[in-house]
C-alpha cells in the first residue's frame, strides 16, 4: 500500500517505530492524488512534497 509521509514526525515514526505502529501510517490515497510517471519492471510511484 502507498506510503505518503507528510510531516517530520511521520518520517521518524516510519523509520524508528516498531512495525505495528509504522504500518498504521499506510492509507489508501484519494482518487487522482498520485500520478504514474514511468513504467518499468518495477513500478515506483513518487509523490514529492517538501515536508520541512
3-34, pLDDT tens digit by residue? Answer: 778 888 988 998 999 999 988 888 776 777 77
Q: Give this prediction's pTM.
A: 0.51
Question: pLDDT band at residue 41, thresholds of 50, 70 and 90?
Answer: low
| pLDDT at residue 44 in the model | 55
**Share of the chain residues as helix, strand and coil, in percent rounded to the nearest 5:** 30, 0, 70
What are the cell numbers at 26? 499506510
Contacting residues for 51 by C-beta, under 8 A, at least 6 apart = 5, 6, 7, 8, 11
Amino acid at each position: 500500500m502507498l506510503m505518503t509521509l507528510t510531516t517530520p514526525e511521520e518520517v521518524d515514526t516510519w523509520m524508528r517505530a516498531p512495525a505495528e505502529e509504522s504500518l498504521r501510517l499506510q492509507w489508501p490515497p484519494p482518487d487522482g492524488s498520485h500520478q504514474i510517471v514511468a513504467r518499468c519492471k518495477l513500478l515506483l510511484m513518487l509523490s514529492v512534497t517538501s515536508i520541512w
